[in-house]
Structures are given as C-alpha cells and as structure tokens.
Amino acid sequence: MAHANVNPSQLLWSRLRAGLTLDEIAAKLPARTDKVLAWESGESRPTFIQAQKWAKVAHIPFGFLFLARPPQERLPIPDLRTVGCETPSTPSLDLLETVKDVLRKQAWYIDYLREHEADALPFVGRFSAKSKIADVVADIRRVLGADVGDRPRSADEYLRTLISAADQAGVLVMRSGIVGSNTHRPLDVGEFRGFAISDPLAPTVFINSADAPKARIFTLVHELAHIWIGSSGISTATVREARDEEVFCNAVAGEFLAPGKEFSQRWDEGTAWIENVGRLADTFRVSTLTAARRAADLGFITRAMYREFYTAELEAFRNRNKGGGGDFYTNLRVRNSTSFSRAVAAEAMSGRVLLRDAGALLSIHPAKIRTFAGDLLQ
C-alpha cells in the first residue's frame, strides 16, 4: 500500500494545533499510539488514506501535511483581547474557524444586499472612541427603539428583544457556543466572548453563547458599541482592559444596561456590596458580573474587589454543567441570524442558490433546507 511522503513535523504541528494528545488522535484515526508516534518522529509514514484521515481529524487541508513548515495563521480581524496588558499570542483553532465562518457568511450577505441595491446604514461608524458615552448610548437606544425603562421580565426575553431590534436595524447577530454545527467542539468563553465586524451594509456581531445567559446581554451591547464607532475586533471581558476601544465599549454597554444615575439611586449603602450586586443584577436584567462592573465603575467597590469577584464567577460558571438541546431549526436561525437565514433560504427556494451551497452557508444538510425555509419564510 502506498505511503504518503508527509512532513513528520507537520503531523506534530497539526496535532498540537488541534489540541489533541497522542492517545486522542490515535483513537480518532484509529491507529496504535506507538504507530502515531513513529509517524511524528519520521520513523515510518502513514498511508494516503491514513494521512487524509489525519488531516480531517486535525481540521486542516490535506496539502498542509506536505509543507516544509507550518503556514502563518493570523486572525483576519483585529484582536482586542488582553491578558494582563498583552494580546494573547496564539488564537485557538476553534476561534480561527469561527471568525472565518462568520466572515464568509457576511461576505455572501454583502453581495446579496448589493444586488438588491440596499443603502448603507447611517449608524455604522457614526461616532468614535472619543465621543461622549451618553451620546452613543442615546443613539443606540434610538436606533433600537429601546427606552431606558424597557426591561422585559426575564434576561432571556431582554436578550431576544435587543437582538430582534438589532436585526431589524440591519445588524446581523449570530450566536453559537460551538464551532459550526460540531457539538463536540465547544467554544471557550475564557478565550473570547464575542466579536464585531463593522461594515456599512452588513455590520455583524457574534456572541459566544457558551457564556452565561445574562452575560450575553452585555456582550451584545458591547459589540454593538463597536459597530457604532466603526470598529471591528474580538473581545473578551477581562478585568484589566488596556485598549481604549474596549474600555469605551465596556463603558457604553454598562451605561446602556445599568444607567449610572439609576444604579446609584438603587445602591443601598447599608447592605453588603455582594447583596447589592445580586439585587441590582436582577433589577437591570443583567449578570452579576455586569452589576459588579458597574459598581466598580461608579466607585461603590474597588477594582481589586471586582477582579476577585470576576475570577470566582467565571470559574464557577465553567464548572457548572451547561445545558444544550432545543429545537434544531430554531437553533439554526439563532446561529446564523434571522436576516441572513431568510436571505439564504429565499435564494435557495427561488433557485438562485443551489441547495448544496445554501446548506454550506447555513451549516445544514441540503435535504433540510426546504423544511427550514418553510418555517422561516411563512
């Protein structure tokens, strides 16, 4: 049987890039662990079939295994995340693939809008990171039709209301906690919480729904603030924000969700701060992290207290079991945004887009497109 003349160092690189141990990749191929080790050391070579399976398991093009050295991989949008005061050096494979998938969908939707002679959205880039926070907050509220007192009874309803308003305004809001449709590849909320891709026709926001439900509301408004200042980038809720854009967008989100004047009036100096945070989180339909952040912003607790609280809350959330499931077609619309889903479904039903291509855009089997479109286009 013919063996593939792959570069052993590329086998090692691709396995580590995918975050797989020797035992894990051996089980997925399947092959003996000692045989995998021999391939990586160059003592022997895999067959073409084994090498092709390796590439699939490691989520790389087959040709990468024959390169002399690993390709340089950079995030295609600015990385605004900070650890300490530095940008993380290497984005995960999951983050890279998620950003590229959203960019691909956005590019299709931009072409679709151009064909339909859509106008540019006036609010994209209307402000800058030097604008007054109150002005940006007021304009986001105006465009979304969200008054200060408009807080539905539950956080879930609040998030759905804001996303629906953003969608109607022209912002694609995509949400997922996994890579594509692969439930075995969960996204890490510790790596990123969301990102924004600014565009005058199709501004796009992605929310990592592996995050706590109430925390997604803050992420949404934070990313909308990026759109309003015409900024693209990947964000995370760190405790030591160093970049001006992130500090500004955090401040906009905080003021939008928990206005400083009302928050201060509701703060009870005679009550322990942790109790205040919990009560005000419920009042404003936000996460306790958001309430604690506002308390720190407004001087009710110290930054050190907030950092300690943030670390404990994030760890507690990671240790909790996260639920899944739900209706397949509902989840699909959530993952791709309502406007994008409708556009792709309509083009597929009209015959202007092949079912195969529509399935690839939506991450769904082509045979399910008609059922999906039937519910979506009613």
Alpha-carbon distance 247 to 252, whole Å? 9
Q: Are 198 and 125 in contact (CB under 8 A)?
A: yes
Contact 297, 258 (CB under 8 A): no
| Residue 342, number of CB atoms within 10 A of its CB | 16
Q: Is residue 271 part of a domain?
A: no
Domain stop point among 257, 272, 287: 257
One domain for residues 52 and 142: no
Is residue 311 included in any domain, yes or no? no
Are residues 232 and 105 part of one domain?
yes
Same-domain pairing of 125 and 212: yes
Same domain, 102 and 205: yes
* 315, part of any domain: no
CB-based contact 327:375 (threshold 8 Å): no
The pLDDT, as a whole number, for residue 89 is 60
57, 20 in Cβ contact below 8 A? Answer: yes
* Prediction pTM value: 0.84
Asked if residue 28 and residue 113 are part of one domain, the reply reads no
Do 131 and 55 lie in one domain? The reply is no
Pull the structure tokens for residue 30: 């399947």
Q: Give DSSP secondary structure letters for 121-155.
A: PTTTTSS-TTS-HHHHHHHHHHHHT--TT---SSH
Q: Examine residue 73 and state whether it is found in any structural domain, yes or no.
A: no
| Nearest in space to 67 (alpha carbons), one of 1, 2, 5 | 5
Burial of 186 (0-12, 13-18, 19+ CB in 10 A): middle
Q: Give residue for tokens 């791709």.
A: 336
Would you say how long the chain is, in residues?
378
DSSP H or E segment with residue 52: helix 48-58
**In terms of Cα–Cα distance, which of 315, 324, 260 is closest to 289?**
315
**Pair 115, 229 in one domain:** yes
Quick check: 149 and 181 in contact, CB under 8 A? Answer: no
Structural domain contains residue 156: yes
Q: Say if 45 falls within a structural domain.
A: yes
**Sites in the chain below the pLDDT cut of 70:** 1, 82-89, 148-149, 237-242, 317-326, 378
User: Where a domain ends, among 201, 225, 257?
Assistant: 257
Residue 47 has what DSSP assignment? B
Q: Are 118 and 219 found together in one domain?
A: yes
Do 36 and 177 belong to one domain?
Answer: no
pLDDT number for residue 317: 66
Q: Per the domain annotation, does 138 fall within a domain? A: yes
Same structural domain for residues 369 and 334?
A: yes
Q: What's the number of domains the chain is made of? A: 3
The beta-strand segments (E) located in 64-129 are: none
Q: Which helix (H) or strand (E) holds 105?
A: helix 93-115
Give me the pLDDT at residue 72, please: 79
Domain CATH number, residue 50: 1.10.260.40
* Residue range of the domain that includes 97: 93-257
Q: 296 lies in a domain? A: no
Question: 107 and 251: one domain?
Answer: yes
User: Last residue of a domain, which of 195, 225, 257?
Assistant: 257
What pLDDT, on a 0 to 100 scale, did the predictor assign at position 87? 57
